[in-house]
Each structure stands twice: as C-alpha cells, then as structure tokens.
Structure 1
Amino acid sequence: MDRYTTFRDFYPFYLSQHQDRTCRRLHVVGSLTVLALLAYAVGTQQWQALWALPVVGYGFAWVGHFRFERNRPATFTYPLYSLMGDWVMFWQTITGRLPL
C-alpha cells in the first residue's frame, strides 16, 4: 500500500474505497447523525452524549465497508486523512458534486 504524505494525494485513494453507493449513503447518514447529536449535546448541554459521536460516525461507515463495500476502512491505516476524507466526501455529496 502506498504511503500518502498529503491529503491531496490521499483523497483519490479514499474515493476509490467508496465505490458502492450504499456504503457512501451510510457514510452520509453517519455524518448527519453526528452533526445532529453534536447539536443536541451543545443545545441541551448533555455533554455525555458526545461519547456517542465516534460510535455513530464510525458505526455507520464501518457497516458500509464491511457489509457493502467489502473492504477494510482506510481509517485503520490513515486515521486523520480518513476523517478529513469523510467530511470532504460528505460535503461534496450534499452539494451534488458526488452522486449519492
């Protein structure tokens, strides 16, 4: 596996790991749920809800990878770039630049 030193180089690889539409949809659902849970925690000052953020975010994504994409999430090798990639892919999806 290549060692990526910049996010610009990593992102095409990241997208190649998200070819299955159901996997991408699960990523979007997970990201939206993370944002909703974050808003809830801040709005109600229920700070303990923040512990659920990684479970929700990674949970949906990993189901997508293991069940539909049938690959190993890039998070295990590139945790920071993968987190960045998830939010870039989320933004590109909700703005119509990537198909859902």
Structure 2
Amino acid sequence: MAEREYKSFSDFWPFYLREHSLPRTRMLHYVGTSLVVGLTVFGVLTVNWWVLIALPLAGYFFAWIAHFTVEKNRPATFTYPLWSLVADFRMWWLWLTGRLRPHLRNAGVASDPKR
C-alpha cells in the first residue's frame, strides 16, 4: 500500500502519533529526546561542541530500536525527516507537561489503561 503524502504538519501530526501508538515506543523516544536535550545543554554550558556530535546517535538510537523491535514499523524520519524531528520534540514536550493524552485520543490511539 502506498504511503500517503502529507502536505502540512497538521495533517502529519496524527499520522506521527499513530506510528507511535505503543507506550513503550513513546517511552524509548522520550529517553532519546531527553538525552538530546541533556547533551545539548551540557555541550553549551561546558562549551564542549564535540558533545553535539553525539546528538543524532542519542536521538535516533532509541527511536529506531523502538520502531524496529516494539512498534515494528518504518520510522517516519525516513520519509519526513524535518516534520518527524519537530513532531518528536512536540510529543516529548506534551508528554512532559501532561498534555499528550488528548492528542493521542484525537489521532485514534487507544489510551493505555496502565497510565
């Protein structure tokens, strides 16, 4: 089945959330994104720009592990790299601030009974 072509981020966002429907997938993304934020802050505060080289590895390692072993789907990054990056930080921030659940519900992602 051919993948739909998204013309706007607002159309892409629900697709992104559906591609991250399992809580373990999202959690692994949160680990990677938190590492990226932490490494960025550390690199800037210590003026150690070499740390920034690790950002792609830190971010993508956990995300791709999640997609290939937990969600068993193809990372959206392969088709929509910039929107996926933005969506990942948006998902992380909404989770961190406790506002992700309505977005998941609107995207058709079943709520996790354990949360």
TM-score range, shorter chain: over 0.9
**TM-score with structure 2 setting the length:** 0.83
Higher helix fraction (1 or 2): 1
* Residues 8-61 of structure 1: CA deviation (Å, up to 9, x unaligned): 000000000001111100111111111110111111111011010011001111
Q: Of 12, 17, 20, which aligns to 1:18? A: 20
Q: How many residues in Structure 1 have an aligned counterpart in Structure 2?
A: 100
- 1:6 alignment partner in structure 2: 8
Superposed structure 1 runs of 4+ greater than 2 Å apart: none
Is there any run of 5+ residues in structure 2 with no aligned partner, and where? Answer: 102-114
Aligned-partner Cα distance in 1 for 2:17–2:44? 31
**Structure 2 equivalent of residue 74 of structure 1:** 76
Equivalent runs, 1:1-100 vs 2, <5 Å:
1-98=3-100
Provide the rounded CA distance (Å) in 2 between the counterparts of 1:63 and 1:97: 25
Gaps of 5+ in 1: none
Larger Rg: 2
* C-alpha distance in structure 2 between counterparts of 1:17 and 1:3, whole Å: 15
Q: What SS is found at the alignment partner of 2:28?
A: helix
SS in structure 2 at match of 1:45: coil
